[in-house]
Structures are given as C-alpha cells and as structure tokens.
C-alpha cells in the first residue's frame, strides 16, 4: 500500500556541479551573501553563480540578472529572496533547466501564507523540480562542500566528514544538533533541513539517504509525517540496510478527541507513529542527546553476536553503577566469564584483581593491565560486547591508555565502547578516542542504553 | 459512527476464526433460562444510548438459578425501556483468567492499527499495550507480546503465546479486509493457559 508518488530526487542539491545563489548581494549581511560566502569558505569546487538584478560582481564572481541567462548551466539554485518573489523566480529556474531548488526564504505556510506555498508547489511540480523548503536551512555535505546554511561559521562549527546523516524539519533543532555533532568525534555525511516540507518531504529525503553510500546511519528529527504509507514502506526498507535513529516531537499533543473505544483512547497519533518506528526497526530517541548517543555507537557498524556485556574498569563504584544500568535494561545481560578467562585473569593480573564481571582492574591500572584484560575478554565466547570504563583521574590512566583502547577497538571484533567521566583532562582523551571511531559516553546510563540500541537493531535486522 | 449489532459483530469474528463466548438475544426470562442450560450466565442490555454498560448498571453476572435469571431479567428489562431500541444479550460465563484487550482503529495516515493491551478496567491506568500497523507478520505478533511488561502474565509464561499470536494475526486480517471498520474493541478477551475467549465486542463503522 502506498500513497502513490515516486520519490523526488534531491541528489543534485547535495552534489551539484554548479550552484546559483539567488539573492546574493553586495551587502555581506544579506542571507544570500552569507550563503555564497559559505560556499566559498568551505572550498566548494563547482561553479558559483550569484544572481542579482542590481549587481555586476559579488565576492569576485560575475553576477547575473536572472537564471535565464544561464540556461542548462545550473544544477541547483539556492533561493534567499523575499517570499512573494519566490514562485516567479522558481518558474525562471524551471525554464532555465535547473535540476533542484533550495528555498531558504520564510514567509509561507508557517506564517499562514498557505496560498503562496501552494503556488510554490505548483511551479515545482510543473517543472519537475524537486524543491527543498521553504523556510529551511537547506543542505550541507562536507564531502562535496555544499553548504547553504546561512549561519556564519564562527557561530556554528561545521562537522568533519563522516558517516552520520541528519535530517531535521526544524532549522533551530537542526543547527543545534549540527553544532553538537561537530563537537563529537564522529563526522557528518549529509545534513538536510527541509522546513515546511512543501514539496520534498521526509520520505523523499529518507529514500535519498537509504541509497546514499556515504551514509552509514540516518538520524532524523521529525515534527510531522506527510505521506504515512510511503514513509512506512521506505522506513521498513531503510532498517534492513542501515540503522535509523528518530526523535519525534509532539508526544504531548492531544490525542484523538472523544474516543469511542478503549483502543482509540490508547492509540493516539504519537503512539501510532511510535509503533510505525518500532515496526520499521528504528531506534527511538527520547531526547536530543540520545540522537548523538545512539548515532555514534551505530556508526561503528559492528554487530554484537548476543546480549552479554563485559565491563572492565579502573574504578569499582563506576563498575557497579554500570552493572546496575545493564541490569535495568531487559534486553542486555552481564556476561559470565568462561573458566579459561578466569584462569587467564588470575595468571596475568595482580592478586587484588577478582576474576568477576565487572572486572575491576583497581585504581592503579595502566595501559598494560587494560591491554591484558581486553585481549583475554575479546577471546571469551561468553562475551558479546565490551564496556571499558577509563577514569582519567586515576594515576595510571593517560594518553597511552587512550591509544591502547583505540588499538583494541581496531583489533576486537566485538562492539566496544568507553565510559569516561570528567572535565578538561578527560575531554582531551575523549576527543582523541572518538575521532578514531571509538564511542565514548559520559555516564553508565547513556552507555548501557547505547549498547541496548545497538543490540536491538542488529537483532531486528537478523530476524527479518 | 455507528455501532454494529452485537450478534452481527460476533458473526464477523466467527468468519475470521476468532473465538467468542456463546451469546444470544433473549426476549423473556424463560428464553434466558433455556439458554443457560443449567450453566451460569450473564445478562446485558445493549443499546447505542449506553456505551458503558457496567457503569450504567446494565450488566448482571453469575446468574445460576431460574429465580436469579428471572429477577435479573425483570430488572434489566425495566431499565432498558428508557434505552430503546435495545437488546438483552445472554452469554455464558467465561472461565476466570487474565483480561486483555485487543483492538483496532483506522489511522488517517497509516491505515489500520492493531492493539493488544493488558485489559480490564485498568487499561488506561497501566497503559501496558503494544501497537502495530496491520497487516502484521507472525514475527511482529510475537514482537507485540515481547514489548509488553505483562507479556509473561498474559501468555501464562509462554504457554498460550501461540494462540495469542494467531489471534492477533486473525484480528489483523479482519481489520485489513474490512476497511469500513473505524474502531474495534475486543475487551475483555479472557486468556487462560489453554487459550482465549472474546467476552465483549464493540465494532464501530
């Protein structure tokens, strides 16, 4: 069952050979000018065409009065002009053979101007021109160096190249999470803020990200879903190929009014959407921070063979708290070490180290003790996943330990994550590990939930 | 929205192999007594004007003797006069077991939605339920049970899991093949170690 529309292809907006920036001007503070400047600063290698009827040259580029002067030469047009002029300019884009459009301008249905938005959709349809927006931040891809964000780089950092793609309806949530991603060790594949979703909607974007090879994990922040059945079909397909993490706003919105049955009273709109995500195998986030917690463990693309977790720690208390957090999640279990493991621990560790899970290496543990423990546990068939607690406040923990853990992350076939809690000194090491693809968490609760999400996802995938 | 006649709704369930408790409309205390065949019965007034039967005092449980049946019939008959058109439904008493709800509704975005929940009068207090978009697969029926905190209580430690999964599949098929149904409540469905029995049905078109 579908709602019966083919996906709109947005690939030309993310990997264009040429871009027209409509609304760039000699005034550097204008949105269009910031966008043009961002393309330049990010090192975009394709052709840039500023469009402005009142300028000959902008930022050293020859300016054109209209896209009609550039027939067949433009892959994508970014439009940042007052709303009322947008449909007319889009029609010109259509005539000039522009493949896709990003409308950054606001002033459409979000302020009640639905008529103008309908006009925009009509033009987009007439010229078969996939249109992202209006009222959006647009798109960003650190690989192709596309960047339509009108937020200056000093205000919001741009993430490194990576495997996580993030789509968000809301520009504010989008830019906030983008800023947070740039502070994490993992990088970004695509960022797509799609605003009012007047033409290109969440299902089109999902379809694009399913196919996109650089995208390892899809992260989405949704406010609404336009084509439910198409979305559901795409969602089910997505999870078989790559993990999807979703945060949906609107949990508290009033459900069905005056329900006649218990079923209708229980199954409100949010509950149904959550069921859709669950049935499709999505990882459901409760909060913005969850998006990052889940994304980084899923990006590692390592499938756990089972639910059994081993904890290695240099702090007894942190080990117990983590074991408690594992026990509170119904799908994870604490691993029971094999006899071979127990014997090996007794042989290689100082006598004060007890061969039990959590494996407490004691406060004076340094990289060699961790290394011994990890090589033993990575060979234990009773262990499916590893949590390494590295408290950098202890005397033995320093950058040598961080390097050792990175080394094991490469060697060990089992999923492995780190918990490090602390201020500056810890942060430095956290960055070091994360930028090498080793996920680091700042609490037992977030780490355990991340492993649970990882386990559930691969369980789901192997069972379909 | 209109409420489908109880016995028609029961027939609809029969068609999909969904087992519901033996029921008949009765027009007199004698007919009710004949229906009981010596077994305990329940009498209920069904009327579109009273959707919450228990709250309105329109249900009498556990009627054994002819005398009990006669007095309950007389009482319900009197109450029903204000609720015309109505029917008085006689049902055999169900075995005791865990009460669950199985339901469905039509969502404007995603289509038919299937629900299973811990039932009884605390449905909306415990809110222990699972939803899926119909049609579901057998695996998804199992997922629905796994998702609930009370899954072990409902399946009696897994003993009737197979029957409940099959029941979910049947209700899923019923919903998909009858698009005009906007809401469906099978509540309660009594589950025991051996299986289940649908005790009350509400189908809204």
Model pLDDT for residues B142-160, shown as the tens digit of each residue: 999 999 999 999 999 999 9
Contact (CB<8Å) A229/B185: no
Calculate what percentage of chain A has a pLDDT beyond 90. Answer: 82
Phi, psi of B128, rounded to the nearest 5 degrees: -100, 95
Domain match, B171 and B126 both: yes
CB distance A235 to A206 below 8 Å: yes
- pLDDT tens profile A197-214: 999 999 999 999 999 999
What are the structural domain ranges in chain A?
A: 11-298, 303-463
Residues 6 or more apart whose CB falls under 8 angstroms from that of A385 comprise: A304, A307, A308, A309, A310, A414, A415, A416, A417, A451, A454, A455
Range B153-181 average pLDDT: 96
B8: Cβ contacts below 8 Å, ≥ 6 apart? none
Could you list the beta-strand ranges (E) of A186-227: 188-193, 217-222
> Cβ A264–B105 below 8 Å, yes or no?
yes
Q: Which residue reads 């999902």 in tokens?
A: A206
Distance from the Cα of B127 to chain A's closest Cα (Å) equals 7
From B66, B92, B118, the end of a domain falls on B92
Judgement on whether residues B117 and B162 belong to the same structural domain of the protein: yes
Of A259, A265, A272, the CB nearest to B113: A272
pLDDT > 60? residue A311: yes
Chain A nearest-CA residue for B141: A279
Domain A303-463: CATH class, spelled out: alpha beta
**Do residues B13 and B201 touch, judged by C-beta distance below 8 A?**
yes
A210-230 average pLDDT score: 95
B111 and B73 belong to one structural domain = no
Report the residue of A234, A240, A262, A284 to disrupt the B interface, i.e. the one with the largest count of B CBs within 10 Å: A262
The mean per-residue pLDDT over the stretch A292-318 comes to: 95
Residue A120 to chain B, least CA–CA distance (Å): 24
CATH code for position B189: 3.30.470.20
Give the pLDDT band (50/70/90) at residue A256.
very low
- Rounded CA-CA distance B111/A93 in Å is 38
Nearest Cα residue in chain B from A274:
B131
Q: Among residues B92, B126, B141, which one ends one of the domains?
A: B92
Give the pairing type, strands A138-141 and A131-132: unpaired
- Read off φ and ψ for residue B40, nearest 5 degrees: -65, 140
Beta strands B111-118; B129-133: pairing state:
antiparallel
Which pLDDT score, from 0 to 100, does residue A258 have? 56
Closest approach of B86 to chain A, Cα-based (Å) = 19
| B14 is a domain residue | no
> Cβ B113–A463 below 8 Å, yes or no?
no
Residues of A in contact with B133 (CB under 8 A): 232, 272, 275-276, 279
Of residues B105, B127, B143, nearest to A263 (C-beta): B105
Q: Same domain, yes or no, for B39 and B70?
A: yes
Quick one: pLDDT band at residue B77, thresholds 50, 70, 90? very high
How far is it, in rounded angstroms, from Cα B133 to Cα A115?
A: 34
Select the residue of B115, B132, B187 nearest A279 (Cβ to Cβ): B132
Q: What 3 state SS string does A43-70 have?
A: CCCCEEEEECCCCCEECCEECECCHHHH
Distance of residue A311 Cα from the nearest chain B Cα, in angstroms: 27
Question: What's the structural domain count of chain B?
Answer: 2
Q: How confident is the model at residue A255 (pLDDT cuts 50, 70, 90)?
A: very low
Per-residue confidence band for A2, with pLDDT thresholds at 50, 70 and 90: low
Residue-range definition of the domain harbouring residue B88: 22-92
Measure Cα distances from A57 to A31, A64, A77, A150, A292 in Å.
17, 8, 18, 20, 42
Compare CB distances from A275 to B117, B131, B184 and report the shortest one's residue.
Answer: B131
CA distance B7 to B192: 24
Q: Does one domain contain both B77 and B159?
A: no
Q: Are residues B140 and B200 in the same domain?
A: yes
pLDDT digits (tens, 9 = 90+) for A387-410: 999 999 988 889 999 999 999 998
CATH number, domain of B42, equals: 3.30.1490.20
User: Rounded to an integer, what is the distance from CA B201 to the centroid of its chain?
Assistant: 4
Task: Check whether residue B83 and residue B108 sit in a common domain.
Answer: no
Given a contact cutoff of 8 angstroms between Cβ atoms, the answer to whether A391 and A315 are in contact is yes
pLDDT digits (tens, 9 = 90+) for B42-71: 999 998 887 777 777 899 999 999 999 999
Q: Is residue B1 part of a domain?
A: no
Its CATH architecture, for the domain A11-298, is 3-Layer(aba) Sandwich (3.40)
For residue B38, the model assigns a pLDDT of: 87
Domain boundary among B92, B127, B153: B92
- Chain A residues with CB within 8 Å of chain B CB: 1, 225, 228-229, 232, 259-267, 269, 271-272, 274-276, 278-279, 463-464
Strand partners, B3: B204
Does B115 map to a domain?
yes
Distance of CA A207 to the CA centre of its chain: 15
What is the maximal distance between C-alpha atoms in chain A? 81
Partners of B50 in beta bridges: B47
Residue of B45 and A435 predicted with greater confidence: B45
**Is there a contact between B174 and B11 (Cβ–Cβ < 8 Å)?**
no
pLDDT band at A259 (very low <50, low <70, confident <90, very high): low
> Using a CB-CB distance cutoff of 8 angstroms, which residues of chain B are in contact with residue A232?
110, 133
B202 neighbourhood in chain A, CB within 8 Å: 261
**Region at A345 (left for phi over 0; alpha for psi -120 to 50; beta for the rest):** alpha
DSSP for A21-36?
A: EET--SSTTSHHHHHH
Tell me what the pLDDT averaged over chain A comes to: 93
Paired with B118 in beta bridges are B100
CB A415 within 8 A of CB A452: no
- What would the two tokens of residue B84 be? 């015309």
The Cα angle at residue A373 between residues A372 and A374, in degrees rounded to 5: 95
Q: Which two tokens stand for residue A300?
A: 């590692």
- Does residue B13 lie in a domain region? no
A462–chain B nearest CA distance, Å: 12
By CA distance, what is B126's nearest residue in A?
A: A266
* Nearest to A31, CA basis, from A124, A111, A116, A105: A105
Q: How far is CA A437 from the centre of its chain?
A: 15
Q: Do B185 and A275 touch (CB under 8 A)?
A: no
A235 and A460 Cβ atoms separated by less than 8 Å: no
Task: Compute the mean pLDDT over every residue in chain B, rounded to the nearest whole number.
Answer: 93
Q: What is the pLDDT of residue A375?
A: 96
Chain A's closest residue to B202, CA to CA, is: A261
Q: Which of A67-81, A171-185, B188-202 has the lowest mean pLDDT?
A: A171-185
**B140 with B79, same domain?**
no
DSSP string, B116-152: EEE-GGGHHHH--EEEEESS--HHHHHHHHHHSTTHH
Q: If pLDDT is split at 50, 70 and 90, which confidence band does A253 have?
A: low
Distance CA A185, CA A218 (A): 17
pLDDT at position A254: 53
B123/A262 Cβ within 8 A:
yes
- Indicate whether B88 and B181 sit together in one domain: no
Instruction: Tell me: do B172 and B151 sit in the same domain.
Output: yes
CB distance B184–A275 less than 8 Å?
Answer: no
Residues A34-41: contacts with CB within 8 Å, 24+ apart? A34/A150, A34/A151, A34/A152, A35/A78, A35/A80, A35/A104, A35/A138, A35/A147, A35/A148, A35/A149, A35/A150, A36/A61, A38/A147, A38/A148, A38/A149, A38/A150, A38/A152, A38/A153, A39/A145, A39/A146, A39/A147, A41/A153
The whole-model pTM stands at 0.93
Q: Are A261 and B202 inside 8 Å of each other by CB?
A: yes
Whether residue A250 has pLDDT greater than 90: no
Give A272 or A182, the one with higher predicted confidence. Answer: A272
């Amino acid at each position: 069952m579908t709602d019966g529309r083919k996906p709109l292809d947005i690939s030309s907006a993310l990997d264009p050979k040429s871009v027209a920036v409509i609304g760039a001007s000699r005034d550097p503070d204008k949105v269009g000018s910031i966008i043009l400047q961002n393309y330049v600063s990010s090192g975009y290698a394709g052709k840039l065409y500023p469009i402005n009827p009142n300028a000959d040259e902008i930022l050293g580029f020859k300016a054109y009065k209209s896209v009609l002067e550039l027939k067949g030469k433009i892959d994508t047009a970014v439009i940042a002009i007052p709303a009322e002029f947008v449909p007319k300019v889009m029609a010109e884009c259509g005539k000039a053979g522009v493949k896709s459009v990003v409308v950054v301008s606001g002033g459409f249905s979000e302020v009640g101007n639905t008529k103008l938005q309908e006009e925009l959709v009509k033009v987009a349809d007439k010229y078969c021109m996939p249109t992202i927006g209006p009222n959006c931040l647009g798109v960003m891809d650190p690989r192709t160096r596309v960047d339509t964000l009108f937020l200056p780089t000093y205000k919001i950092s741009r993430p490194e190249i990576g495997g996580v793609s993030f789509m968000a309806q809301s520009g504010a949530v989008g830019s906030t999470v983008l800023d947070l991603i740039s502070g994490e060790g993992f990088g970004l594949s695509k960022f797509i803020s799609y605003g009012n979703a007047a033409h290109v909607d969440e299902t089109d974007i999902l379809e694009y990200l399913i196919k996109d090879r650089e995208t390892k994990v899809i992260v989405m922040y949704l406010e609404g879903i336009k084509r439910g059945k198409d979305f559901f079909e795409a969602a089910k397909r997505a999870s078989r190929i790559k993990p999807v993490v979703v945060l949906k706003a609107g949990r508290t919105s009033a459900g069905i009014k005056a329900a006649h049955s218990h079923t209708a009273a229980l199954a409100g709109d949010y509950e149904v959407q959550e069921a859709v995500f669950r049935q499709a195998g999505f990882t459901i986030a409760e909060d913005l921070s969850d998006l990052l917690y889940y994304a980084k463990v899923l990006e590692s693309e390592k499938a756990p063979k089972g639910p059994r977790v081993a904890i290695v720690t240099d702090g007894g208390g942190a080990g117990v708290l983590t074991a408690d957090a594992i026990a509170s999640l119904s799908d994870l279990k604490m691993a029971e070490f094999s006899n071979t493991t127990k014997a090996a621990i007794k042989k290689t560790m100082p006598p004060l180290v007890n061969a039990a899970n959590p494996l407490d290496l004691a406060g004076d543990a340094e990289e060699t003790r961790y290394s011994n423990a990890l090589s033993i546990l990575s060979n234990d068939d009773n262990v499916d996943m590893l949590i390494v607690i590295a408290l950098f406040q202890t005397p033995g923990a320093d950058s040598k330990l961080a390097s050792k853990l990175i080394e094991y992350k490469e060697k060990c076939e089992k999923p492995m994550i780190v918990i490090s809690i602390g201020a500056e000194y810890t942060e430095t090491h956290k960055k070091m590990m994360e930028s090498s693809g080793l996920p680091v968490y700042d609490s037992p609760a977030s780490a355990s939930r991340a492993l649970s999400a990882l386990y559930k996802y691969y369980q789901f995938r192997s069972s379909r | 929205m209109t409420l489908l006649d109880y016995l028609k709704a029961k027939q609809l369930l029969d068609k999909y192999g969904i087992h519901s408790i033996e029921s008949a409309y009765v027009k007199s205390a004698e007919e009710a007594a004949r229906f009981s065949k010596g077994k305990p019965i329940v009498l209920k007034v069904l009327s579109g004007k009273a959707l919450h039967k228990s709250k309105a005092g329109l249900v009498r449980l556990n009627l054994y003797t002819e005398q009990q049946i006669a007095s309950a019939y007389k009482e319900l008959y009197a109450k029903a006069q204000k609720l015309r058109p109505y029917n008085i439904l006689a049902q055999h008493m169900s075995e005791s077991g865990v009460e669950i709800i199985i339901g469905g509704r039509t969502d404007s975005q995603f289509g038919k939605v299937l629900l299973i929940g811990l039932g009884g009068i605390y449905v909306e207090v415990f809110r222990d339920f699972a939803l899926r978009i119909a049609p579901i697969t057998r695996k998804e029926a199992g997922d629905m049970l796994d998702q609930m905190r009370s899954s072990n209580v409902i399946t009696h430690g897994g003993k009737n899991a197979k029957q409940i999964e099959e029941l979910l599949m049947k209700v899923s098929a019923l919903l998909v093949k009858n698009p005009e149904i906007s809401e469906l409540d099978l509540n309660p469905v009594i589950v025991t170690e051996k299986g289940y029995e649908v005790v009350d049905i509400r189908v809204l078109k």
